[in-house]
Each structure stands twice: as C-alpha cells, then as structure tokens.
Amino acid sequence: MTGRLKRGVRSGGWFLLLAGLFWSAAVPVGAGPAGELEAIRLFDEERLAAARPAGPEAAEAAFREVEKRYLDFLERYPRSADGRNYLGGLYYEHGWPELAARQWRLGLLANPRDPFLYNNLAEYFAHDRGQPARAIFLQEKAVRLKADEPVFHYNLATYYDVFRFTARRRFGSLERVYESMLRSYRRALAFDPENYDYALVYAATLTLSPAAWKIADPVAREEKLAAWRNCRRLAPDEPTRTMIDRQLRRIELQTP
C-alpha cells in the first residue's frame, strides 16, 4: 500500500474465510488540515501498537488517549471528513460499529463526495447491519467517485460474490453477476498488478466459483492458467508456490 492511510476499517484487511470474503481498507493520497491530523494518525498507530502487548488495561488506556486526540481535533475542525473517517476507524476496530458509522455519516455531511467514507460504510452495512443491497450501492458509489482506487473494485467484486443473490435482482441472472464480479477483480488487478491477495482471489474465483454458483463455466482454461501463473509469480514463499503448482497441474489435466 502507498500513501497515507485513509482509515476506515484499519489497513491490511482480513480474511473472512467462512463467508468467502476478503475485504480491504482503503488508502488514499492527500488530506487537510494535513499536518496536525497526520501527526495524530501516526501517534494513533504507534501508541496502540505499543500498548497491545502490555495487556487489555494498557490497550484501553491507549485507546482513550487516541480517542481524545481525535475528539479534540474534531472540536476545532468539526467539518473534517478525514478526521471523522479516522475516528470512525478507531471505533470500528474497537468493536463499536455504530459509533464508527455515525462518524462516517458525519464525514459525508462535510464531504458528500468522499469515496473512502462510502467504502467504509459499505463494510458496515455488509457485515454489521446485514443490508447487502445497501452495501453494494455504497460500494458502487465509491467506485464511481474514484475509479482508479483498486481496493474499491476489489471490495465491489467481493460483495458481488458473497451477496450474489442480492446482486442478481439487479443484473437479472447469476451469470451476469459473475461477469460483473470478474470485471471488478480485473480492474483491481489492473490498478494494483503486484498485489498477491488480489491475484490469488481472482485465480481461485475463476477456478472454483462457477461450480459453487451452479452456473456454466464461461472462462477458458488458458485464462485460468494465466491467472494462476501470475499468482505464482507473486507468491511470497516456496510452500505457496508448491500449492499453486498443484493447482496448475490440475487445470492442465482438464479437458479443454
């Protein structure tokens, strides 16, 4: 990731394997009032990271200290969308999604064209409120507002996958949802071609999703092989490459 963390749910993302979901937080460039907010953000990350090994009481004290810094900043700059976004991310990580969503909504009142806030609210409605249609709508809006942000396309593809029956109501068929999902994964990779996580999920989707979705497989064997070879190129270690080699051999043995 490059640039300053536009913190919604914190950077890095996580695998929600049972749901088949890998969601990623968003990273932009630019801010304001830049210097003070950036200093708070850096303090936030360092203070919390240092406190966690000391136990829950130290972590809670660090959380309160960081929260106060954001609240003091927002008292002076109440219309800072970035400040609302960062504080919302702090609350979300702390397990307070409703407080997080309130800050993100306040951020949108200050800047209704901030795509990162739509991205983060999409996560909230997807996983904390169980409203997949609204999550998809918000994620699509984030994509429209900032079409060159790879994680927005990635998250949208993920929602199309996990909430495919909701998406089908608009697209008309699972086949069309699948096409839209692949298009979004490809766009994410086009903007971030060295991202191993993106490459892995895309390759796995090409290979596994048609059977899981119970639809005809529209993807040629050569495209699947190319996706896995790209994944192998980006693999972080030898055990991962060995796993990918096994997958490549399985595909090569399939009848074209």
Q: What is the pLDDT of residues 180-227, one digit of tens each?
A: 999 999 999 999 999 999 999 999 999 999 999 999 999 999 999 999
Mean pLDDT for 50-59 is: 90
Q: What is the pLDDT of residue 41?
A: 87
Predicted confidence at residue 13, as pLDDT, reads 35
Residue range 47-65: mean pLDDT, rounded: 90
Mean pLDDT taken over the chain: 89
Q: Residue 21: pLDDT above 60? A: no
Does residue 189 lie in a domain region?
A: yes
DSSP 22: E
Q: What average pLDDT does this structure show over 156-165?
A: 98
| DSSP conformation class of 130 | -
Confidence of residue 1 (pLDDT cuts 50, 70, 90): very low
Residue 30 located in a structural domain: yes
**What pLDDT score was predicted for residue 45?**
85
Contact 187, 179 (CB under 8 A): no
**pLDDT at 32 > cutoff 60:** no
- Is residue 57 a part of any domain in this protein? yes
Concatenating the DSSP letter of every residue in 148-214 gives: T-HHHHHHHHHHHHHTHHHHHHHHSSHHHHHHHHHHHHHHHHHH-TT-HHHHHHHHHHHHHHHHHHT
DSSP 221-236: HHHHHHHHHHHHHH-S
The more confidently predicted of residues 13 and 167 is 167
The structure tokens 């407080």 sit at 99
Distance CA(7)–CA(27), nearest Å, equals 7
pLDDT at 17 over 50: no
The count of C-alpha atoms lying within 13 angstroms of the C-alpha of 209, restricted to the half-sphere facing its C-beta, is 24
CA distances from 136 to 38, 90, 110 (A): 30, 23, 22
Tokens linked to 168: 């089908």
Q: Using an 8 Å Cβ cutoff, are 11 and 27 in contact?
A: yes
User: d(Cα 167, Cα 159) in Å, to the nearest integer?
Assistant: 9
CATH code, domain carrying 197: 1.25.40.10
Q: Greater confidence, 56 or 29? A: 56
Q: Is position 60 within any domain?
A: yes
Q: In the prediction, which pLDDT does 20 show?
A: 41
In a domain, 197, yes or no: yes
Q: So what's the pLDDT on residue 145?
A: 98
Domain count, the chain: 1
Q: Report whether pLDDT(19) > 50.
A: no
- Among residues 183, 185, 225, the alpha carbon closest in space to that of 201 is found at 185
What pLDDT score does 118 carry? 98
Q: Is 186 exposed, middle or buried (0-12, 13-18, 19+ CB in 10 A)?
A: middle
Domain that holds residue 36: 14-219
Share of the chain above pLDDT 90, in %: 79
The reply to whether 231 falls in a domain is no
Q: Tell whether 245 is covered by a domain.
A: no
Rounded to two decimals, the pTM is 0.85
Say if 115 falls within a structural domain.
yes
- Please give the Cα distance from 213 to 187 (Å, whole number): 22
